[in-house]
Every structure is written in structure tokens, then in C-alpha cells.
A and B are shown apart, each in its own frame.
Chain A
Amino acid sequence: MFSKTNHRRRILFASLLLICGLAFFVCGSSLFAQMVLSLEGKPVDPIKASDGKVTVFIFVRTDCPISNRYAPLLQKMNGEFAGKTKFWLVYPDKKTTPQQITQHLQQFHYSIPALRDPDHSLVSLAGATITPESAVFDSQGRLIYHGRIDNLYEDAARARPAATTHELQNAIDAAIAGKPASIASAPAVGCYISDLE
């Protein structure tokens, strides 16, 4: 029964995506209400809930060390852009429970709100493939950037002493200024979302 339901959803989802390409803004505000969940289990439409601000998704996984290492930076950015940008942490692993997420948020001192994305609706919307990966939507709900936060990691287990490019920061600055991002995407380094069931 379950797999059938799931199957139907996916078909529905794919056809809607096609429409999204034509009328992104309309879809963006209403499409995912049934699939994206808060930690209390309530459906959330994060773009609508961002209330006309620039919206940032950060896809993370509790057991991904690279995601975790970014926690202080993400918290800092969340503070710096407060009022202009709405950050969301998105957990795409459907096996991760709300309790585990709550614990993870506490451990890493996150105050950014968390969402569960068990059907990978937001993953598809953002074109995300990796944790950690960021996606930036402008105030119109248009995706203007997705990819790495910065280039701290050359590859998994290969970190630079410090990042030398700051793609997420640049994309948020562009979105706030109402400009297109200088690059639309940059490959992220970390754990594969496709490895999750």
C-alpha cells in the first residue's frame, strides 16, 4: 500500500515540476504544503512562510561531518542576515526522527528552524544532491543559486585551512540586492543525498 501511494506522489510531483519551470512563483508558494514537515509533524511551505524574504535552505544530515563543521558559520550568517533572509535547515533523511533532529540542533547550538523533507520535495525544488548544500530563493521565490556554502572542502576529508570563495554569502547578497547570483550553482562536497532511501 505504502509503495503505491509513494509512486503516485512521485508522478504527480514530476508533472507539477514541469509546470514549475513555466510558472515558478505560483508553484513555489503552494506545491509542497503536504510533503514538507516541521518537527511537530505539521506541513510547512517554507517559501510562503518566509514571508517575502530571501529564503535559504541548507540541506544537512545528522551523521555528515562536513555538514556539522559548518554549524558555527551557518548560525553566524543566520544572525547577520536576520530580518532580510529566512534560513531553514532541511533534513532529507526520512529515517531521521524529529527527536534525533532536536538533539542534533541542541548539540550544534542551532537556532535555525528545521524541516523534514522525507519525500525530497525540497531536494528536487532546489536541485540539491549533497549534504551540506545550500539553495537561495529570491523574494519572488525564484531559485537563484544552489550548491556549496564555500570552498572550505576541496573534497571529502580534504579541507583547506580556510575557505577562499564564499558562494552562499555572495548569492544571498545578490538576492537581497534583487540581482541574479554571479553563478547559478557550484558543486557541493559532502554526503550524497541519493544514498538516502
Chain B
Amino acid sequence: MTAFAKRIVAVSIASFFLALAASQIIRTRAALNLEEGRGVTFNRDLAPIVFRTCAPCHHPGEAGPFSLLTYGDVKSHARQIADLTQKRIMPPWLPEPGEWKFNDDLHLAQEEIALFKKWVNTGMPEGAPSDLPPAPRFNSGWHLGEPDMTLHADSSFEVPANGSDVYWNFIFRPPLEKTRWIKAIEIRPGERRLVHHANLIVDRSQSSRRQEKSPGSGFPGMELQIESETFDPDGHFLFWKPGTIPEPEPHDMALRLDPANDLVLNTHLQPSGKVEKIQPAIGLYFTNEPAVKFPLLLQLENDRKLNIPAGEKNFVVTDEFELPESVLLFAIYPHAHYLCRDMLAQARFPNGQTKTLLHISRWDLNWQAVFTYAAPIDLPAGTKVSMRYSYDNSDANPANPNSPPQRVVAGNRATDEMAHLWLQVLPKAAATQTQDPRRVLQEAIASHHVQNNPDDFEAHYNLAAMLQARGEVSQSIEHFKRALVLRPGDATVENALGGAYFVAGDLPQAIAHLSVAVRARPDYFDSQYNLGLALANSGEFHQAIEHLRAAVSLRSQDADAEANLGGALAAIGETKEAVAHLRRALELNPQHSLARENLDSILQDSPNP
């Protein structure tokens, strides 16, 4: 008897996943020489600061528009440097100094800033050659050496000569034959003077491909919405900004990449005055050590409250979330668009003490970044993490995209706003058979979002997915239904709801909803696969085969689809073709027990099909 997998492919979580290859440069703060009577020289006093905080971007091939590597370089921009450091425009670093240090902190001390001014005012002396520290050396190729796999964007994107900022997304399709563990990803965005920042997002469901006009063309958009599998949140920030030197992930926290997974690079580009093309590349570095620790990304947000009247100077949005589990906080990524001015993230500890996790008093989208703590912060269960963002929608805000100001609400366009705070955390407790702290955290945050915003589609969807995974099927169906009310006919929800009915054992309802999903989007792998499975379980093998064939043609490297297609073919006596698909499943995944079991069973019945 041929067996079918009594399971369903994971439903999806719609969410944003942003990431960082945390770079680390060891800080060497120069000794300060501002005592009375002692002159400031480039070699002794300024070079250490310039080499550490300016040169990483201001060297040939990097984003800085001119080099700052020598006395002559610095002298020919001396007044500008003194002015921009005084105004804290350069080096670009948003967080105020606080309790916890960040990696790659570019903040200059007041005494360091004073050195530049004093130097300009005293004739810009070069100083003794023996005082000059060694010039920093920069690698013009891959920082981490030749990658194990290099991927180039399929096509370049032409950045117009003028106009305001442009957001473009490139999809990379790593040709993996089997699951690989990634210890580092290096992003080479192309002409660096144009690229303000870039986020790399793992798209496990190829959901971004639907946005491309033709395969490989890329697509516009400032924000990405990616569907991913429920319990595999991409808990890594993969973020690039000018001057970034990629840092490998901790050895026990590698990133999983499966065959058919896509990597989507979201870039923020600024015209330079001439038409230029960019064609990014990424380098993947593999490890044989699978991850044993799985960080996850928690998002605080309150977009629903964003309804900012024109002219409003101080519009405040807050959110607070109580951690149900103890975690280590690795990194923090605040996100808003152009109207936001002040961002405050705090932790209120169970003992009543409040500490600031991040404070940005002059938010500037152009210099957004993921901020990684020099050492992880211990946040015990019961800690309340909060965000408080303030927005200026008056014409006094030079970044205001509307002139004259207009009412602004939440949305994905540059003229809309956002209020998001992402935390990369690692639960301190290990998962047991009955309790996985990651799931507890995810369900708690999804539940928090539903409470915050009963009309939040994603919140209902995510909570439903979480409940389903915990076996709370009837509750899960309720939330999927709420999501469906908010987006009637949405293929993703119809698929998920059909999946939930399947798990609940209600095959007619499952088939009804999955059929709607397939009709809405025939190229949707998950729904074709799920419908095929539901039909097979109802004994409708011929129809099942039709949908499983569709699934296999949509994704040629999915072992489950091959195995189930093989099973369905075997059920109607098409053993020869069944064997071919089962063998293909085992080729893709030699440990596929269903395929193995079915194949053995067929070969036992008829050794030479």
C-alpha cells in the first residue's frame, strides 16, 4: 500500500526580513592632544581619526566622493571636514552615545571634533613624519576572499541622471543542488557612489518573482513583502551600507539556504548627475557546520497610528511588547521614512529599571543602518521593550517629501511613513520537545500585533500560522478567516486556510479553498502542491496528479512534490512513471523517507516496473 505524507507544506508568514553582515572594525581612539600650547598636526592628531572614521568610505572604489587617505587629501577638504564634523553630518552615525556600545561606532567625541577646527585655524600643519600611523589598507576585491559561490544580478539597472532617490530590487537565484549553510554573505552593490544602502532578504517561496515583469528584470519598490515558511524566520540581518566590511555569522548561527530559495537585494540609489548602470553581485561563503542556534527577528510597530496631519511638528507613535522568554539582544534596526525625526527604543526590566537601547535624535533615512551591539544585551523574561518615534510633517522638515506638506499615513511608498523597530534576539532557553521558546516569542508578538491592530492582515495571518503549528487548528482557522475578510480572494490566505482545513481533517473545505487559491494564481507552487495532496487524500488521484504535475513544473527541485506525485501515480497503477518521480525525490533528498518507503513498496510488488 502506498502511503501519502500526512502533512502539509508550511503556510507562509508575510513579513519583512532585513539583515546585516555585521561588520566590525576595531576602534582605536587616538590620544587627544588638545592641551594648551600644543599644536594640532595631521600626522599625530588627525590621521588616526581620519583613517578610522573617514577612510573606510573615502578611498578609491568606495562610496565616498573623494579620498581621505593623505595629508593632501584632507587639506583640500579641511574646512568642509571641520564644518561637517561640527554639525555631526560626517561621519554619518545616527545613534547618540549611550549605555551600550555598537560595533563600527563612528561617533566622534567633542574633543576630536575640536581638533579639526583647531587644525584649520592654526594653518593645517602636517607634523612629523614619524607621528603618522600606517595608512589603512583596503581590499578592492572580496573582503572575505574568493566566495564559494558568486552570483551576479541577471540584468543591470539604469539609474537616471537626476531626480530624487530610486529604490530597485534585484533577485538572485542561487543554483543550489542541496541545502547549504551560509556563514557569510558579501554584498557588492556595484557603483558605490550611487548606493546608499542595501538589504538582502531570503525569499524561500520565490514570492518576489511575481513582481518582475520578466524573469531577471528586477522590480521597483522601497519596501519588500516576502512570504516565508512559518517556523523558519530568517533571523539574520544582511545589510550593506557604504564602508561595510562583512562579518561572518557566529559559527553556530549559520544561515540555511535551500535549493530554489531566492535572495532579494533591495537597494536605495541616489542619482549622481549622469546616467549610470549598476549590477550588483553577492558572494556566498559556505560552512559544513549547520546552525545549532537560531536567532529570530521581532518587530515592534504601530503603523496603524500613523495618520499625520499636514504641518504637525511632533506626531508621536509608540509600541510596547513584553518578552515572554529571556533573550539575548544582538542587533537593532529602526525603520521609518522621511518624516521621522526622533527615535527612542527602551527596555523596562522586571526590576523596574529602564534603559535606553537606542536613541536617534536626528533620524536620516539616507544613513539608516542595522546597529549591532558590541556585546549582546541580556533581556530577561518580563522585560518590556518599547519604541517611541516622533514625526515632523511641517515644511520645517527639509526631508518632507511633500511641498506643501500633505496628510501622511502608513504605506510602502517613499511618500508614506512607517514606524518599525526590529530586534534580533536569541532565546536563552533551548527548545525542548514540548516547548520552543522561538515559537512562544513569535506567537506572543503576533498576538500583540492583533491586539494593536484588529484590522492588521499580516497579524491575523501570522498568528493563525503560529496557532496552526501549535496544533490549535480551530483557533488558527478563525484567524485565517479574519485575514480572508481583510483581503478577500487572496491566494496566500486561501491556500493557508485550505491547509488549515486539511489539517483539521475537513477535506471538502480544504479542497474548496485550495481550488480558489489555484484559480487565483495558477503559478503558486504551494497551492498546487497542497491541492494535489488534499485531492490525493480524498482518493481523487487523477485530479491530484494534475496539480502535483503543475507543482513539479513550477519547482523542479522539490523532493516532497516529486515524492507525492510518485505516490499518486503509483495509486493509479502508473508504476513506471511513479518510480521515476520517487527516484528523483531521493536524488534531491536521499533521506526522504516517504519516497523511500513508496519506492521500496513498489519494487517489492513488481521488481521491474
Q: Which residue on B lies nearest to A192, using beta carbons? A: B79
Name which residue of chain B comes closest to A109, CB basis: B274
Q: How far is the CB of B84 from chain A (nearest CB, A)?
A: 6
Tell me the bound Cα distance from A72 to B273 in angstroms.
6
**Contact assessment for A158 and B398 in the assembled complex, using a CB-CB cutoff below 8 Å:** yes
Say how far B115's CB is from chain A's closest CB, in angstroms. Answer: 17
Q: Chain B's nearest CB lies how many Å from the CB of A152?
A: 9
Q: A109-B274, A164-B403, A195-B76 are in contact. Are A156 and B161 (CB under 8 A)?
A: no
Q: How large is the interface on B (under 10, 10 to 19, 20 to 34, 35 or more residues)?
A: 20 to 34
A196 and B76 contact, Cβ closer than 8 Å, known pairs A63-B66, A65-B193, A73-B162: yes
Whether B309 is near chain A, meaning CB under 8 Å from some CB there, is no
User: Are the CB atoms of A195 and B80 closer together than 8 Å?
Assistant: yes
B65 contacts A by Cβ under 8 Å: yes
A162 to B84, CA, bound (A): 22
Among B76, B400, B414, contact of A197 (Cβ-Cβ < 8 Å): B76
The answer to whether B272 and A65 touch across the interface, beta carbons within 8 angstroms, is: yes
Query: Which chain B residues lie closer than 8 Å to A197 at the CB level?
Result: 75-76
Q: Given A64-B65, A71-B161, A161-B338, check contact A156 B80 (CB 8 Å).
A: yes
Q: State in angstroms the CA–CA spacing of A115 and B84 once bound together.
A: 29
A9 at the interface (CB under 8 A from B): no
Task: Decide if B273 touches A158 in the complex (CB within 8 Å).
Answer: no
Inter-subunit contact B77/A69 (CB<8 Å): no
Asked if A25 lies at the interface with its beta carbon under 8 angstroms from chain B, I say no
How near does chain B come to A24, taking the closest CB pair, in angstroms? 29
Residues of A within 8 A of B338 (CB): 161
Chain A proximity of B88: nearest CB distance (Å) = 11
Q: Is A51 close to B, CB under 8 A?
A: no
Any A CB within 8 A of the CB of B87: yes
Are the CB atoms of A160 and B271 closer together than 8 Å? no
How far apart sit A69 and B366, CA to CA, in the bound complex (Å)?
16
In angstroms, Cα B398 to Cα A157, docked, is: 12
**CB-CB nearest in chain A for B362:** A158
> Beyond A72-B162, A158-B366: 8 further Cβ-contacts under 8 Å?
A65-B65, A68-B274, A71-B274, A72-B161, A109-B274, A161-B165, A161-B414, A192-B79
Sorted nearest first, the 7 A-B pairs with minimum C-beta distance are: A65-B65, A154-B398, A72-B162, A68-B273, A71-B273, A192-B79, A63-B66
A contact set with B: CB distance below 8 Å: 63-65, 67-73, 107-109, 154-162, 164, 191-192, 194-197
CB pairs A–B below 8 angstroms (22 shown): A63-B65, A65-B193, A68-B272, A68-B273, A69-B162, A73-B162, A107-B274, A108-B273, A109-B274, A154-B398, A156-B80, A157-B90, A157-B92, A157-B366, A158-B366, A158-B399, A160-B400, A161-B399, A164-B403, A191-B77, A195-B76, A195-B79
